[in-house]
Amino acid sequence: MNLFLQQLLNGLTIGAVYALIALGYTMVYGILQMINFAHGEVFMVGAYFGLSVILAFGLAAPVPGGVAWLVGVICAAAAGCALLGLLIERVAYRPLRKAPKLSVLITAIGVSFFLQNAVMLCWGAQDRYVPELLPVRQMGEGAVAVTPMQVVIFAVSLLLMIGLQWVVHGTKLGRGMRAVAQDPLAARLMGIPVDRVIAVTFAIGSALAGVGGVLFGVYYSTINFHDGYLTGLKAFTAAVLGGIGNLPGAMLGGLLLGLLEALGAGYISAQWKNVVAFAVLILVLLLRPRGLLGERLAERA
Amino acid sequence: MAAAPDLLSVEDLHVRYGSVEVLKGISLKVRRGEIVALIGANGAGKSTALMAISGIVPASKGSIRFSGREIRSLPSEQRVSLGITQVPEGRRLFPRMTVKENLLIGATLRTDRSEIEKDLAWVLKLFPVLKKRSLQLAGTLSGGEQQMLALARGLMAKPTLLLLDEPSLGLAPKLIGEVFSLIRKIHEMGITLLLVEQNAYQALQVAQTAYVLETGTIALHGPAERLRQDPSVKRAYLGG
């Protein structure tokens, strides 16, 4: 029972990070019907932005007011990734708005390689240690170990997901985003600045991935320029699991995938964690291609 | 300087899709307070003309002036904020948004919040069928209700010039009559209309001026009343 609860907790923690990244995949897909395969790299860059900010302030060990510092680091990385997302959209995707989907896909893979190599050149190819900002200790006396970091990861992710729901359903910007997703031509006819809405969507999705990157770094304590690939693919799996294009689906998919992975790691073996994750992807594609909460997939005419 | 007598003045407008020239230099004028009908067969280029005026498809040549100002190179959202709104063919509502949200999207570029609220109430009074459905998803409305919503959404932009593309297409005869009486009502509010229709009979009834578009060129134009009597128009578009 303890193992179960412990893995449940671990799974929800990493699942929250997957969910943050999955949101970016699903937002961009919803609005452009494209899979932004560079998104995992934006997440990875976010982790490195976080590392750089931590080092710049000399935060080498748990410090007093660690949570406040962490929030500051998160904000900085989110801002940096938002800018990066804007840049990628402007330079790599916007010129291809009318190009065949395959060209866009290949471009996305190109951007992904570019970012990996840029990070390798700037920060080095070896694993980088990310200092712990919060004390590593068990909270409470229970049988299950909850660390302060897990609490922060969960709280930050939850707040951001609620915030995103509010933006999408409660603001004019969100209304514009949904309009562009449902009918881009009609959106233009109504005077919605479609290019700007798309750019903002990239910025928001990238910022969330950046937050995910920082949380990932401080949780696992080491980061590598390769990290975006695997984690990005898993977050994509989460988005597909929940139903690509559907925001609550991405959140649910992320949490579920984290859970399944952690349970697989706990009950089978840690080496099987990735097998579980990608078996989920294959099963979803076979059994329910539109995902748990997705609408029926139909190519738009 | 006196206000330009023509609200919209299109001159020698060319539009091409790839190597195909869809509009081969059309000219038309819409005077303030008028209803102008643009009729013609399927594929003549009517919708393309509206899309060029709305800034969705680029003009390869020619000029589009609105209130005396050249707008050919303006992006679509700026044309909307100048007062040109289109109610597109097939209605193009946002199906997974509520009726109310669709209406608010019509007012996207307006900043006068309290006025928007007032207009919302006004539009719902004008279209009572929408009032009781205001929290329903647009995709669940019937065809007739969807057309009403499309018109209402267009009005929420407070247009000076409303471009209507096939507002009666696919509607039952009874509803067609209703749509055209709404068009008259909108006209009485002081809104100028450019109406594209395959239903030439109704269009020539409601319009003051009409243009006949044939394979990308204006074949004929003049007062709607005269075109109604024109033998070639009768033969080609009025069924006898």
Distance CA B18, CA B2 (A): 40
CB distance B105–A185 less than 8 Å? no
Mean pLDDT of chain A: 92
Final residue belonging to a domain, choices B134, B158, B182: B158
CA B154 to chain A, closest CA, distance in angstroms equals 8
Kindly provide the residue ranges of all beta strands, DSSP E only, lying in chain A, ordered along the sequence: 128-129, 222-223
CA A39 to chain B, closest CA, distance in angstroms equals 27
* Tens-place pLDDT, residues A55-72: 998 877 777 778 889 999
* B62, B105: one domain: no
Using CA coordinates, name the residue in chain A closest to B77: A191
* B123, B187: one domain: no
Residue found by looking up tokens 């893995």 in the block: A7
Residue A63 has what pLDDT? 73
* B64, B167: one domain: yes
* B177, B220: one domain: yes
* Tens-place pLDDT, residues A124-180: 999 999 988 887 777 766 778 888 899 999 999 999 999 999 999 999 999 999 999
Nearest-by-Cβ selection for A190 from B75, B96, B106: B106
Distance CA A88, CA A100 (A): 18
* B77, B1: one domain: yes
Q: Are A208 and A24 in contact (CB under 8 A)?
A: yes
Q: Are A62 and A133 in contact (CB under 8 A)?
A: yes
* Tens-place pLDDT, residues A71-103: 999 999 999 999 999 999 999 999 999 899 999
What is the count of structural domains for chain B? 2
* B142, B169: one domain: no
Residue found by looking up tokens 């230099």 in the block: B25
Distance CA A37, CA A41 (A): 8
* Tens-place pLDDT, residues A34-45: 999 999 999 999
CB distance A189–B54 less than 8 Å? yes
Distance CA A44, CA A47 (A): 5
Final residue belonging to a domain, choices B137, B158, B179: B158
Count the alpha carbons within 13 Å of A100 in the hemisphere toward its beta carbon: 3
Domain boundaries, chain A: 17-226
Query: ipTM for the complex?
Result: 0.93
First to last CA, chain A: 52
B181: CATH: 3.40.50.300
Parent domain of B138: 92-158
* B154, B186: one domain: no
* B152, B166: one domain: no
* Tens-place pLDDT, residues B35-56: 999 999 888 999 999 999 999 9
Distance CA A177, CA B105 (A): 11
C-alpha dihedral over B149, B151, B153, B157, to 10 degrees? -170
